[in-house]
Amino acid sequence: MPRILILIGSHLCTAPRPQKEACALAAAGHEVTIAGGWFDPEFAAWDERLIADAPYRFKKVADLRPHAPGGHFRRWMSRLRRYLARRRFARTGSFTPELLGLFPRETRRFAGAFRADLTLAHSEGGLWVATRLQRDGLRVGVDYEDWFSEDLLPADRIGRPCATIREMEGALLRSCRYTVTTSAALSGELQRTFAAPAPCVVYNTFPEAPIDGRRIDRPDSSVPSLHWFSQTIGPSRGLETLFAALPLLHHRCQVTLRGRLLPAYRSWLESLVPGDRRASLHILPLVPNSELPSRLAEHDVGLALEQADNPSRDLTITNKFFQYLQAGLAVIATDTRGQQEAARLAPTACALVPQRNAAALAAAIDVLLADAQGLARAKAAAREAAQTVFAWERQQKVLTARAQEALSTVS
């Protein structure tokens, strides 16, 4: 049985795409292991629940939780190594793998000893590991979940080894038989930039999930509800435009944000929302991915407010877009190139709006809130698109075919 190793460089629960990939490849008859690491106690508990029922194995290459045996020291050392790597890079431009994550060297040691028949990278640190494994004669592949070298805003790329990441991206794209990405827009841009074969498109869709029918997020369903979520609630995610749009609405609604609101961002958020409007704003914590479809299904409209300032965000189509469709929410999305692609395939379910245009966003929300039957049609169209055009079974076939092709080549 071929052994496949998937490198994520973080918690399993924060990596839904590798989870789906692992399940698909395991169902195709491969022995699959995901290699990641732990640093957050809550996320580690979620990981343990996922591992218990998974058809794949999970191997933590490092445990940096403060209360794990030796965890406090390892956490301190990891931070010190990253700090020193950044200082060195700022002074000399010298690259070290610590610039790419919390435990790239630990991942490299594990993957080198594991010697899988095929190793798949999903992150910047994974790219570095993959290049080393390839030099050792091992088969590797890459899931370009993002355009890693073009991720983040320009100001946030200071101190980031973008040139090295870009070099690894191109080398692996030209040499690997297993390359996939999240949209046709991103696939085409990678092909043009690196003069390489275009990666196959595997949309960030999800297998069908049961909806529990409970009312947890939204006890009162008499007022329409808008929903937005991300790992972190913070700037440059479109929320500035959302809160500028709310005073322009002609119809009542409630707004739910789901994610981690870091203390540093609390005053920023409060500055965007006047005191008299905070009663209609609900901030909820993250939930495990298995529970997310049920919580999303309580709402009416999903907001995907990505910004094109970040080239990767402009080209990709994020998880949230497809999770809204699956949960049966009408979608309002900004007109990034990736989301234009998705909206063309589900036009009745999705309304596109210009980025940073509060008036246009308010108008799109009002159109849905003013017409209960129209909103119901959009929600029904979302479910239909999730079950047909974007069905996970279609994406799964691409993954398994690419893996079989990669495994059949001579290393």
Tell me if 263 is assigned to some domain: yes
Q: How many CB atoms are closer than 10 A to CB 335?
A: 17
Q: Residue 280 has which token pair?
A: 């209609």
> What CATH number is given to the structural domain containing 16?
3.40.50.2000
Q: What are phi and psi of 260, to 5 degrees?
A: -90, 120
Using the 8-state DSSP alphabet, how is residue 3 labeled?
E
Using the 8-state DSSP alphabet, how is residue 280 labeled?
G
Cβ contact 8:36 at 8 Å:
yes
Q: What are phi and psi of 233, to 5 degrees?
A: -90, 115
Could you tell me if 304 and 402 lie in one domain?
A: no
Tell me if 186 is assigned to some domain: yes
Q: How far, in Å, CA of 32 to CA of 23, rounded?
A: 8
Tell me if 214 is assigned to some domain: no
Q: How far, in Å, CA of 109 to CA of 170, rounded?
A: 24
The phi-psi region of residue 63 (left if phi > 0; otherwise alpha if psi is between -120 and 50; otherwise beta) is beta
What pLDDT is recorded for position 410?
A: 59
Q: How far, in Å, CA of 21 to CA of 403, rounded?
A: 10
Could you tell me if 331 and 258 lie in one domain?
A: yes
* Bridge partner list, 118: 4
Q: Residue 53 has which token pair?
A: 């029922």
Question: How do strand 254-260 and strand 225-232 relate by DSSP bridges?
Answer: parallel
The beta strand positions in 242-400, using DSSP E, are 254-260, 281-284, 301-304, 330-334, 350-353
- Please choose, from the candidates 224, 229, 183, the residue with its C-alpha nearest in 3D space to the C-alpha of residue 203: 183
Cβ contact 62:102 at 8 Å:
yes
What pLDDT is recorded for position 25?
A: 97
Tell me if 218 is assigned to some domain: no
The residue type at 13: C
Could you tell me if 92 and 165 lie in one domain?
A: yes
- Please choose, from the candidates 294, 269, 268, the residue with its C-alpha nearest in 3D space to the C-alpha of residue 281: 269
Q: What are phi and psi of 3, to 5 degrees?
A: -105, 130
Helix or strand run (H / E) with residue 170: helix 162-175
Cβ contact 143:181 at 8 Å:
yes
Could you tell me if 353 and 398 lie in one domain?
A: no
Q: Under DSSP, is residue 230 helix (H, G, I), strand (E, B) or coil? A: strand
Tell me if 216 is assigned to some domain: no
Domain coverage including residue 268: 225-387
Tell me if 284 is assigned to some domain: yes
Q: What is the reported pTM?
A: 0.93
Could you tell me if 403 and 380 lie in one domain?
A: no
Could you tell me if 321 and 233 lie in one domain?
A: yes
Q: Residue 366 has which token pair?
A: 């009002």
Could you tell me if 336 and 309 lie in one domain?
A: yes
Q: Under DSSP, is residue 183 helix (H, G, I), strand (E, B) or coil? A: coil
Could you tell me if 380 and 397 lie in one domain?
A: no
Residue whose structure tokens are 């799964």: 396
Q: Under DSSP, is residue 339 helix (H, G, I), strand (E, B) or coil? A: helix
Orientation of helix 392-408 relative to helix 16-27, angle to 10° = 70
In 297-357, alpha helices (H):
311-315, 319-327, 337-345
Could you tell me if 118 and 153 lie in one domain?
A: yes
| Non-local CB neighbours of 400 within 8 Å, separated by 6+ positions | 24, 25, 27, 28
pLDDT in tens, the chain (411 residues): 899 999 999 999 999 999 999 999 999 999 999 999 999 999 999 999 999 989 999 999 999 999 999 988 999 999 999 999 999 999 999 999 999 999 999 999 999 999 999 999 999 999 999 999 999 999 999 999 999 999 877 777 788 999 999 999 999 999 999 999 999 999 999 999 999 999 999 999 999 989 999 999 987 888 999 999 999 999 889 999 999 999 999 999 999 999 999 888 888 888 888 776 777 899 999 999 889 999 999 999 999 999 999 899 999 999 999 999 999 999 999 999 999 999 999 999 999 999 999 999 999 999 999 999 999 999 999 999 999 999 999 999 999 999 999 999 755
Q: How far, in Å, CA of 343 to CA of 357, rounded?
A: 18
Q: Residue 241 has which token pair?
A: 């435009």
Tell me if 59 is assigned to some domain: yes
Could you tell me if 235 and 157 lie in one domain?
A: no
Tell me if 79 is assigned to some domain: yes
Q: Residue 103 has which token pair?
A: 């435990």
Could you tell me if 240 and 355 lie in one domain?
A: yes
Could you tell me if 377 and 396 lie in one domain?
A: no
Cβ contact 32:26 at 8 Å:
yes
Q: Residue 225 has which token pair?
A: 């509800």
Q: How far apart are the first and last CA of the chain?
A: 17
Domain count for the chain, please give it: 2
Calculate the CA 99 to chain-centre distance.
20
Helix or strand run (H / E) with residue 80: helix 71-92
Q: Residue 298 has which token pair?
A: 């309580």
